[in-house]
Amino acid sequence: MGHTDNQMKAALSADEQALLDTFLEENSLFYGPDPAIMRDHHIGPRTEVEDALLNSELDPHALNLVRGRLHAALDETYDMVEQMGTAPGAKWGDLVTAVYTATGDLSSISPKGVVVFSGVCHYPLKFIAKYWAHDPTVGLREGDGFIHNDSRYGNIHNTDQSMIMPVFHEGEVICWVSSTIHEGENGACEPGGMPAAAESKWDEGLKMPPFRIVENNQVRRDLLTFLQNSVRDPKLQYEDVKVKLHACLRLIERIRSVIAEYGKENLIACLRKNIEDVDVEVRRRIREMPDGTVRTHAFIDGTLRENVLIKYNLTVTVKGEHMILDVRGSSPEFTNRSINTTLASLKTCIATAYLLYIWPDLPHNMACFSAVEVLSDENSLLDSSFDAPNCMSLIPLFKSFTLPTIALAKFMYSCPTRYTAIYSSHFNQPYTFIYGGVTQHGEVTGNFCADINGNGGGARENRDGEHAVAPCFGYMCDTGEQELIEEELPVLRLVAQHLTKDRVGFGKYRGGLGYEQLITSRDAGFWGFMTGGTGSLHPSAYGLFGGYASPVYTLCKIREVNVFDTLKTDPRSFKFDLVELMNEQAIPGAKYGAYDMGMTFEPVQEGEVYMICQGAGAGYGDVLDRDPNLVIRDLEEDLISHETARALYHVVYDTDSLVLDVEATRAARAAERESRKRRGKPFDEFVAEWVRPEPPEDLPYYGSWDDPTRIYAGQGAGRVVMQRGAVQGVMMPNPKDVRIAELEAQLAAATAGRG
Amino acid sequence: MKIPMTEYLAIDLDREMWECRCCGHVIQSARENYKKGLLVYDRNPREIHKPLLDTTKYQRSFAPDPAWCALLEYYCPSCGTLVETEYTVPGHPPLHDMEFDIDALRAQWKDRPAPASVEIPDDDERIRKLRETHAH
């Protein structure tokens, strides 16, 4: 007591100091996430072996053959996991297998795999190498397998689980392999692994830093039992640990055959060259872009618990071969809401956007992002602290697949080479039903429907977006087989893949449509649904170069009725269309409601109907530039209404025959252009009238306004302003407390003066 | 030399001006915000994303809330082309979204041939021709 650090240091001799340092080094209280690992997304330096090999005469044909063999092995193991995996995510392609260099940089992934899953795996892998490999109580041996899911050590969210294994050759680690699945259930406070209701990281369920669960290629049953005992679906946990293990073992077997045939030198050189070639090419492509700054932002309209406006700020600067992404000025983190993300997850998702929408021709590894620097505010929504919950990080992360696409389109349009068509925004919300309960087979489960994979594609500069094509995070994930789902779960889909008429981003080229999902429950012991999306007040996916955004979406319910009784007694009252069902309200006694897309877990009774739409992609270009024949085709395919064709696209045609009147259309569009010129105001005049110095006082607003160094949080008298460098997390009140306070105020007002 | 920067905007490097690619209208100095030379309209987002549910029955209807979402439309003052849309919050300062280094742009294009139509790898027509080439 009473000694300062300096006094203590002054009192220690050199030997004592050395002893103290050794003691502290050997007695870490807790090996938390290491910022030195977690904040560095760059590829590491070459090892001596790699350097010597890459400076030697390499046989490009041999390297190409090795690369082909690795890709074949990665493709084979992807198929293994997809065929054998138990998780719905595995069956529908939310998975990947991957191979890394000896120092842990991602070199190659399965061609159909989800880049983000392996893109974050190098973080836990580097943690294993740094902390466990040399720890006498852990170590690193041939046949070891490490399991991992905590995003604070490198993951998108902790519903994804990975198996990571070192590959030994002649007693040394020559490379690493991994296999990752979106598993779903993980013992969180809500079933299904993505709990919107989580208010602390302790509500998120399993929280696994990388630890060895496999020894001598065998799963340790005691540890597996601990994991099974911690989740609602022990069968899922059991089977998929083994599936991922055997995918890794097959990869190791294939790598050994590559070494036997081509030598370890060609393997090491190939793995490293995959990375360096991408890095070199990315720097060349950045140099092709014009120097300058592009600013963009997006607004998230809720936390999944309450409506608030949350800013995602993104400024991209290019100079020569350098690119800086600056997300400072975004919202502070929410200390008791689940939508925060770690910086490492954010970077991986942005890198994936580069590989999916900007340079899809590049080999899929994280070197595509090594030339890019990211600036962020610590304790913000996009760079959240160790303690902030982040199990629904998908809310900002899904925007990270589309916002960079919009920004980079403005850099790439002038480039002399196109690597793909300029792309508007893919739809970017995780709209699907998450479920939990007891199945018709008496099994407890919790997971999510693969409709999350049915996002509508964004419009391109040369064509319309594709309908319900893929999730924004991967291009080969599918929406699943409904019959298979109904065999396993007490969930019936009353309407399937019914495209969402008039709900799309319009433009010269329109986005791809989403589809309606009308589901109910039957033969369950206990059952419930949740949804985890925003975008009910403010659109989620913005258009490009005059294109419009996706619309907003609404969760609809028909409750206090058993629709199976209705279908028996009065089938005509049930319309197989969401809009008709909701507007006609034809089922007697039913309670109809329309809500925000974020819903925490809610028990349902048999036959109650829950309805959502998968979202549509955004549009590209001016609606008046849309080929009128394409508008007629949209009418023929029932994708738009006559009102949209006439009022928005200004196309003139015969209603019955749909025969286009070319001249009248030309005149109508010319008239609309004149109308625009009349109603538009000069910019400076408009700004003087319209712009406010601060966010509207009554709007719950989080993030910067015009100055990214001043960050607002809240509304009215409770609003605080933080300066850059001093951003703090925000704690939200319990929505039920807010509601109770509102009702008490109403009650007090109603009873005022009654004594 | 005129460099196409977006679907509807070019930069004329000789005059250092933003230009409309549809009608050639000279918009604004390329060293300033191109939006200053356009017309702006505060469009009610519900005119584009119309309510689909009966608003007398439901508060949520697949239409944005104008208190939470503003839609700014930028028009060319000469030909009326919708050059850009900006979804934002009511009263939020419009973004200066593109600010390029004009001197660097000129240097970059000094040795490049004049911009021609760019070949898009995934263009339908190109893919069709590639398939024909490889057909047996």
Largest CA distance in chain A: 96
Is position A635 within any domain? no
Q: Is the ipTM of this complex over 0.90?
A: yes
Q: Is A506 on the interface with B (CB under 8 A)?
A: yes
CB neighbour list of residue A355: distance below 8 Å, 6 or more residues apart: A115, A362, A364, A368
Q: Is A705 on the interface with B (CB under 8 A)?
A: yes
Cross-strand bridge partners of residue A316: A294, A325
Instruction: Output the CA–CA distances (angstroms, integers) from residue A355 to A7, A326, A331, in the order listed.
Output: 54, 19, 26
CB A338 within 8 A of CB A390: yes
Q: What is the pLDDT of residue A459?
A: 98
β-bridge pairing A555-559 and A591-595: antiparallel
- 3-class DSSP state for residue A8? helix
Please judge whether B60 and A502 are an interchain contact, meaning their C-beta atoms are less than 8 angstroms apart. no
CB neighbour list of residue A45: distance below 8 Å, 6 or more residues apart: none
Measured in whole angstroms, the distance separating CA A30 from the mean position of its chain's CA atoms is: 30
Q: Is A672 on the interface with B (CB under 8 A)?
A: yes
In whole angstroms, give the CA distance from residue B18 to residue A679: 22
Please judge whether B120 and A421 are an interchain contact, meaning their C-beta atoms are less than 8 angstroms apart. yes
- pLDDT reading at A397 higher than 60: yes
Instruction: Identify the domain boundary among A621, A655, A675.
Output: A621
B93 vs A549, A596, A691: nearest CB: A691
Is position A604 within any domain? yes
Neighbour-count burial for A341-377, b at 16+ CB within 10 Å, e otherwise: bbbbbbbbbbbbbbbbbbbeebbbbbbbbbbbebebb
CB A367 within 8 A of CB A43: yes
Work out the average pLDDT over A505-527: 95
Q: What is the pLDDT of residue A71?
A: 96
Complete edge-to-edge strand list for the sheet that includes strand A598-603? A444-448, A434-438, A527-532, A598-603
- 3-class DSSP state for residue B41? strand
**pLDDT tens, A626-672?**
999 999 999 999 999 999 999 999 999 999 999 999 999 999 999 99
Instruction: Identify the domain boundary among A588, A606, A621.
Output: A621
Interface probe with B: pick from A622, A648, A689, A692, most Cβ of B within 10 Å: A622
Work out the average pLDDT over A201-207: 96
Closest CA to A395 of A425, A426, A430: A430
Can you give B15-46 as a three-state secondary structure string? CCEEEECCCCCEEEECCCCHHHHCEEEEECHH
**Residue of chain A whose Cα is closest to the Cα of B107:** A290
Q: What is the pLDDT of residue A1?
A: 40
Is position A552 within any domain? yes
In whole angstroms, give the CA distance from residue A416 to residue B112: 9
CB A507 within 8 A of CB A603: no
**pLDDT tens, A419-441?**
999 999 999 999 999 999 999 99
**pLDDT tens, A317-370?**
999 999 999 999 999 999 999 999 999 999 999 999 999 999 999 999 989 999
Interface probe with A: pick from B33, B40, B110, most Cβ of A within 10 Å: B40
Tell me phi and psi for residue A273, to 5 degrees: -65, -35
A538 vs B4, B69, B112: nearest CB: B69
- pLDDT reading at A736 higher than 60: yes
CB neighbour list of residue A129: distance below 8 Å, 6 or more residues apart: A103, A104, A140, A173
Q: What is the pLDDT of residue A541?
A: 98
Our count of domains for chain B comes to: 1
CB A208 within 8 A of CB A154: no
Tell me phi and psi for residue A706, to 5 degrees: -90, -20
In whole angstroms, give the CA distance from residue A154 to residue A163: 13
The pair of structure tokens assigned to A436 is 């939990």
DSSP class of residue A357? I
Contacts of A416 in chain B (CB under 8 A): 112-113, 115, 118
Query: What confidence category does residue B116 fall into, taking pLDDT thresholds of 50, 70 and 90?
Result: confident
Q: Which domain holds residue A609?
A: 422-516+543-621
CB A336 within 8 A of CB A304: no
Our count of domains for chain A comes to: 2
Tell me phi and psi for residue A674, to 5 degrees: -65, -40
CB neighbour list of residue A291: distance below 8 Å, 6 or more residues apart: A318, A319, A320, B100, B101, B104, B105, B108
CB B101 within 8 A of CB A292: yes
To the nearest whole Å, the CA of B13 is away from the closest chain A CA by 13
Closest CA to A247 of A69, A77, A76: A77
Number of other CB atoms surrounding residue B131 within 10 Å:
9
In whole angstroms, give the CA distance from residue A504 to residue A650: 17
- Residue whose token pair is 């595995």: A90
Q: Would the CA dihedral through A407, A409, A413, A417 be positive or negative?
A: positive
Contacts of B90 in chain A (CB under 8 A): 692, 696
How high does pLDDT run on average in chain A? Answer: 95
Contacts of B5 in chain A (CB under 8 A): 290, 410, 413-414
CB A78 within 8 A of CB A94: no
Cross-strand bridge partners of residue A164: A146, A178
CB A159 within 8 A of CB A186: yes
The pair of structure tokens assigned to A322 is 């350098």
Question: Whole-model pTM?
Answer: 0.95
**Residue of chain A whose Cα is closest to the Cα of B93:** A691
Please judge whether B59 and A706 are an interchain contact, meaning their C-beta atoms are less than 8 angstroms apart. no
Residue A410 CB-density burial (10 A; 0-12 exposed, 13-18 middle, 19+ buried): buried
Instruction: Output the CA–CA distances (angstroms, integers) from residue A531 to A293, A371, A448, A579, A704, in the order listed.
Output: 37, 37, 9, 19, 29
**pLDDT tens, A43-64?**
999 999 999 999 999 999 999 9
Helix then strand then coil, % of chain A, to nearest 5: 35, 20, 45
In whole angstroms, give the CA distance from residue A418 to residue A283: 16
Closest CA to A195 of A121, A294, A305: A305
Is position A234 within any domain? yes
Instruction: Identify the domain boundary among A621, A645, A680.
Output: A621
A554 vs B4, B61, B77: nearest CB: B61
Contacts of A699 in chain B (CB under 8 A): 67-68, 89
